[in-house]
Chain A
């Protein structure tokens, strides 16, 4: 302990006896409590309590302006018969699956490209991260304009420049084109995050492994499959957990571009919860939809926890 070391040194100058306040702030137990109070307090009041409150609200018939009473599972029974809810569940899963696969395939490819020796590498990295930095809603508005039925630049390219199609695509007017358009926008926004995180993982791999493999005559595919993939797996697992959680609970992109339309076909669970809860005023029902997302999140979190634990074990760390 450092304090005993201090007393062991004979020439330490005696200092003035500190006041009670200074002694209080030097006591470790007090300091721990004092340091943790702001963070824990904020999180308890504005995160843990609302989480519990949300679960309670899901079992009541609260509306805006009227405190609800306990109705048991009525909200959930009602939702189970609601085709719009099931369509939101389906689209949430579809959106998450397709967007995650797209983001990770393209993001990994981009990371591998960036891992080469390139001129202006830092500038390139800065440019690539831009879609992730700019507020989602604002880039979503740009996509909304790109997907405009009459003045879409994609349709213009396909029809007037390349001549591949004869009519303009109605991106957001029909269910399936709208669903795919939103997935594409989400992939666009997610690529930079995945690519930069995986690039950080790739840069920790020692080049000597590749040199050794090259000497042994490994093909590029073998080098990728047997060296790159196992070594970035831990970081990939964590990035994927984050990505899955935040894609599944996405709100901004869908709300900004389609607001759940056409005919409720692009509602995610989050946008449906918002629509029923805040403008619709059915707080209880909205909360029930939000609570229905929790099992999925728990699953993703457990996945993350075990991925983390596995990584620690790989690195030979024992504590924290």
Chain B
């Protein structure tokens, strides 16, 4: 790093900084205040979502008499309406089914592909890796029209299989790339020892590489689950009947009817739809962070 090395030159002949960056008041102004602003702005929509879904309609549409940031008399009406008067539980179930199936399918394909690319090195393996990386850069917005015609011709239109089979197009490249990084961190010597002891390649994959790559598998799995749960454009284009929609699509197309928006129910739907992912996320924060940053660094 020549630039960084040359950066440490030309000492200004000045009084030393007296560790001013450690003084408390300055730290509060330059660090805690901006940080607090960031946290408030980043979290405010969730607070707003939550508070709206528990407000009775009278408070919801009257800012003169009720402070909009607080709830006077919380109610579960919106959530009850959502759970019992709409197909919301069915949508949740469909989304769960699609997300889990797509995740399992993509993990299976990506583990094998990553193992082949990283461990069974062969001529051109790096080009296969590069091709899979490039596949990640093809966004769903370019693909959904031709995929819609394909899905229709294959007779999958309006079935969950349309989504289970198309979600791997963005999950497989991501997971493969992530797992290549994990496999890279497992020492070769372990596999060589196993080969000397007479293990077959499949035994090595099953008994040695996979157990050591479990953190990577968890990262890839939770990430795929979240991405499938969040997917919107394919689910919007390939599913038509009300009861087999996924949560994000259903909230937007089924709960919004006419010109009068049921904001309470909409927000309750958004809140309930976010909760599974948020709970899942809270258990695996570190895996999320490592896979997010790992995938970028690889």
Partner of A274, one of B31, B144, B248, B251: B144
B43 touches A130 (CB 8 A): yes
Residues in B with CB closer than 8 Å to A57 are: 145-146, 149
Q: Bound state CA distance, A256 and B248, in angstroms?
A: 10
If over half of B's interface residues share one DSSP class (helix, strand or loop), that class is named, otherwise mixed; here it is helix
Partner of B150, one of A53, A122, A319: A53
Interface residue? B75 (CB, 8 A): no
A47 touches B145 (CB 8 A): no
Interface residue? B63 (CB, 8 A): yes
B198 touches A43 (CB 8 A): no
Interface size on B, residues (CB 8 A): 111
- Residue interface bits A188-224, CB-to-B below 8 A is 1, else 0: 1001110011011100000001001110111110100
Interface residue? B282 (CB, 8 A): yes
Residues in A with CB closer than 8 Å to B248 are: 135-138, 252
Within 8 A of A (CB), among B10-58: 10-14, 16-17, 21, 31, 34-35, 38-39, 41-43, 45-46, 48-49, 52
Partner of B146, one of A15, A287, A320: A287
Within 8 A of B (CB), among A263-283: 269-270, 273-274, 277-278, 283
Partner of A218, one of B8, B46, B142, B229: B8
Q: Bound state CA distance, A50 and B144, in angstroms?
A: 8
The stretch that binds A, out of B78-86, B110-118, B210-218, is B110-118
Tell which of B8, B34, B145, B176 has the most Cβ of chain A within 10 Å. Answer: B145
Least CB separation from A151: chain B residue: B61
Q: Answer whether A133 and B277 are a contact pair too, CB < 8 Å, given A213-B7, A231-B1, A297-B139.
A: yes
Q: Answer whether A2 and B196 are a contact pair too, CB < 8 Å, given A138-B251, A278-B148.
A: yes
Q: Bound state CA distance, A227 and B237, in angstroms?
A: 48
Interface size on A, residues (CB 8 A): 121
Q: Answer whether A42 and B145 are a contact pair too, CB < 8 Å, given A137-B248, A226-B7, A227-B7.
A: no
B60 to chain A, nearest CB (A): 8
B116 touches A35 (CB 8 A): yes
- Residue interface bits B186-227, CB-to-A below 8 A is 1, else 0: 000000100110101110000000000000000000000010
Q: Bound state CA distance, A319 and B10, in angstroms?
A: 37
- Residue interface bits A1-41, CB-to-B below 8 A is 1, else 0: 01101100100100100100010011010011011101110
Residues in B with CB closer than 8 Å to A256 are: 252
Listed in ascending order, the chain B residues whose CB lies under 8 Å from chain A are: 1, 3-4, 6-14, 16-17, 21, 31, 34-35, 38-39, 41-43, 45-46, 48-49, 52, 60-61, 63, 68-69, 105, 108-110, 112-113, 115-117, 120, 122, 125-126, 128-129, 132, 134-135, 137-150, 165-166, 168-169, 172-173, 176, 192, 195-196, 198, 200-202, 226, 229-230, 232-233, 236-237, 247-249, 251-252, 263, 266-267, 269-271, 273-274, 277-278, 281-282, 285-286, 288-289, 292-293, 296-297
Listed in ascending order, the chain A residues whose CB lies under 8 Å from chain B are: 2-3, 5-6, 9, 12, 15, 18, 22, 25-26, 28, 31-32, 34-36, 38-40, 42-43, 46-51, 53-54, 57, 62, 106, 109-110, 113-114, 116, 118, 122, 124-131, 133-139, 141-143, 145-146, 148, 151, 153, 156, 160, 188, 191-193, 196-197, 199-201, 209, 212-214, 216-220, 222, 226-227, 230-231, 235, 238-239, 241-242, 245-246, 249-252, 255-256, 269-270, 273-274, 277-278, 283, 286-287, 290-291, 293-294, 297, 300-301, 304, 314, 319-320
